[in-house]
Amino acid sequence: MHEIFFQVLFGCVCFHYIMAHTALRDEELTEYFDNDAVIDQKVKQLASEIKKAGRGGLVVYTGAGVSTSCGINDFRGPNGIWTRQSQIQQGQKVETPSRVIQSSNTSPSPTHMALSTLQTAGYLDTLISTNCDGLHIRSGISPDKILELHGNCYVEACPYCGKTYYRAQPVDLEGFDRSRAILTGRRCDSRSCSSLLRRTDVAFGQSLPDKALQRAERVSKAAKVVLVLGTSLRVTPACELPFRNRRAVTCIVNLQKTPYDKRSKIRIFCPTDVFIEKLCQELGIQISPFVAKDFTQDPAWMESFDKHYTFRSAPDDSWFDSRDDEQALRFLQEQKKGIGIKMVTDASGDVKMERYAIGDSEDEDDDMDGFEIYPKKDCSHVQALDIAALMSNTLDQKRYAKGCEKCAEAEENWLCLTCNRLLCGRMKNQHMLLHATEALENDFRNPSHVVCASLMDLSFWCYACDSYVTSPTLTPIFNSLHQLKFNESALPIHDIM
C-alpha cells in the first residue's frame, strides 16, 4: 500500500507529499509579460491611487517571488522546488532541486529596498509576508510595520511566555532536531521561564501565528490600496487577506496567473523588481541602497522589536509538539552547520525530501533524516462538527463516481464535513476552496464548512486553521471513506489521534 496511506493512519502527513500536492499544473506554470507601454500605464494608475489614499494608505502582501532575484528559489514557479519535485514524481527527467532556506550573506532585492523606501516616505501602512527569509526586516522594514505569517529565520521564540528574539544570524544555522519541536539550542531569558526556544518559520501542517494573523485580518479590512507582489496566491488563509476589503483598490503583480486575478482592479504581469522601480519613479521616490546593519547592536531597535513584533499567543500548544525536547536538544548540540532541503531517490526509486547540513562545499554535505509534518490535534472546528448527522448521510459510490458537484473533476476531490458536498481541490478548479472561503467571509469567528476530508489520501484539512487536522472524532469518517475508496475496512490499529 502507498506509504502516504500508512502515515495518514497514524495521524501524520508526509511533508514531500503535501508539497508536491501544492505544485501547479502545467498550464498554470506559464509566465506572462506585459509590454512596457501597458506596464507604464498601469503603474501610473496605481501611483495615482496610492497618492489619493495618502499617508499610510498602502498595505503590501509579498510572496517568494520577491526574493528570486536574490538567488532564493520560489516554490511554484517554472523552476520552483515543488514544481520540480512534482515533475520528478511524474517520471520527468529534470534537475533535482535543492534550496538553501537561510543564508546570512543574501542581500535584499530591489523590491525589498523599494518597500523599505515606501515606508520611509510614509506611504506604507503594513507589510504582510509569507516569506521566512528575513529579508524584509534586513532591508529596513520596522518591526511595527511587518506581519510575517510564516515566521522569520532570524527570529526565535518561546512558546510558553511568548517572548520573541531577533538574532544577527539565521537561527537554523545552529541545527535542528528530529521531532516537530524545532529547537535552537537556547533558552528563554524571561524571569521564571527558561523554556527551550524554537524557530518561528512555519511549515505545512503547523498553525499560523495567531496574533499576526488576527492583526493581518484587521489591517486587510481597513486597507485603502492593496499591492500583492510575487505570489501565486495558492495557500490559505494568506491568499485571501488582500481581498478582505472589497472597496480597496487591489493590484496584483506576478508573472503567473492567480485564482484572484478577476478580483483585482489592476493586474500586471511583470517581474517585481522591474515594476517596483517604475512605481517609485512615478511617485518621485529614489530607492535607498542596501546597507548591512547588525540590529542586535542597536538597543533602540531591539527595544522596538521586543515591543512591537507581532507573533503568537502564549502558551500555544498548537505550535509545536514538545514531547521530545531533551532528546531533541541532545541531537541539536551535535549539529553546527546550516540547513538546506533537497530531493533524494532511494533504492526503490521513490523521490523524497530531506534536510541536509550545508558544509563548506556541496561535496561535504551530510545527509540527514527526512522529516514529517503533524496535523493540528485541537482544532475547535473539528470539535464543532455534527458527526452523527454526517454519518447518517455518508458519501456513496454513486456520488463518489460522479466527482466534483460543480465540474465533475474525478481525481482531486474533498468532502465538506458540514454539508457533505463533494468538491474539487485547489489544484483543480478550487471549488472546495471557494466553498470554505465563502463560509469564512460570512462568519470568520465561528465558521462552518471549513473542515473537509481528502478523497485522495484520506487526510483532513481545516481552512480556518490553515492546517491538516486530526482527532479521534474523525475516526468514523476515516473508516467510512476508507471502505468507500478501497472496498475494505481500515486496519484496526487505533483511533485517529
Greater pLDDT, 366 or 407: 407
Q: Choose the weakest-confidence range: 225-229, 450-454, 468-472.
A: 468-472
Residue 441's pLDDT is what?
Answer: 83
Q: Quote the CA–CA distance of 231 and 304 in Å, as a whole number.
A: 29
Helix (H) or strand (E) holding 184: strand 183-187
Residue 404 annotated as part of some ligand binding site: no
Residue 201's pLDDT is what?
Answer: 84
Residue 331's pLDDT is what?
Answer: 43
Residue with cell 510575487: 230
Helix (H) or strand (E) holding 273: helix 272-283
Percent of the chain at pLDDT > 90 equals 44
Residue 343's pLDDT is what?
Answer: 55
CA distances for 308 relative to 136, 145, 199, 245, 304, angstroms: 15, 9, 19, 25, 6
Q: How confident is the model at residue 78 (pLDDT cuts 50, 70, 90)?
A: low
Residue 362's pLDDT is what?
Answer: 45
Greater pLDDT, 291 or 176: 291
Q: How confident is the model at residue 413 (pLDDT cuts 50, 70, 90)?
A: very high
pLDDT in tens, 182-193: 777 788 998 778
Residue 193 annotated as part of some ligand binding site: yes
Preceding peptide of 259 cis, ω within 30°: no
Whether 9 has a pLDDT exceeding 70, the answer reads no
Whole-number CA gyration radius for the chain: 23
Q: How confident is the model at residue 488 (pLDDT cuts 50, 70, 90)?
A: confident
Are the C-beta atoms of 185 and 199 separated by less than 8 Å? no
Greater pLDDT, 474 or 317: 474
Mean pLDDT of 378-404: 88
Bridge-partner residues for 129, per DSSP? 62, 148
pLDDT in tens, 130-148: 998 999 999 999 999 999 9
Greater pLDDT, 196 or 130: 130
Whether 42 has a pLDDT exceeding 60, the answer reads yes
**Which domains are assigned to the chain?**
15-308 (3.40.50.1220), 380-486 (3.30.40.10)
Are the C-beta atoms of 373 and 182 separated by less than 8 Å? no
- The values of phi and psi at residue 441, to 5°, are -70, -35
Residue 280 annotated as part of some ligand binding site: no
DSSP codes joined into one string, 255-266: SS--TTGGG-SE
Greater pLDDT, 398 or 7: 398
Whether 234 has a pLDDT exceeding 90, the answer reads no
Crossing angle for the helix pair 110-120 and 272-283, to the nearest 10 degrees: 30
Whether 279 has a pLDDT exceeding 60, the answer reads yes
Question: Catalytic positions, please?
Answer: 150
Looking at the chain, how many residues does it have?
A: 497
pLDDT in tens, 88-130: 444 555 554 444 444 557 899 999 999 999 999 999 999 999 9
Residue 79's pLDDT is what?
Answer: 56
Average model confidence (pLDDT) for the chain?
Answer: 78
DSSP-based three-state secondary structure for 372:
strand
Mean pLDDT of 216-236: 94
DSSP-based three-state secondary structure for 373:
strand
pLDDT in tens, 304-351: 999 999 999 887 655 644 444 444 444 444 443 344 445 566 676 665
Whether 3 has a pLDDT exceeding 80, the answer reads no
Q: Report the range out of 28-37, 69-78, 166-175, 317-326 with the highest average pLDDT.
A: 28-37
**Total-model pTM:** 0.61
Whether 467 has a pLDDT exceeding 90, the answer reads no
Residue 161 annotated as part of some ligand binding site: yes
Residue 374's pLDDT is what?
Answer: 54
Whether 379 has a pLDDT exceeding 70, the answer reads yes
Whether 53 has a pLDDT exceeding 80, the answer reads yes
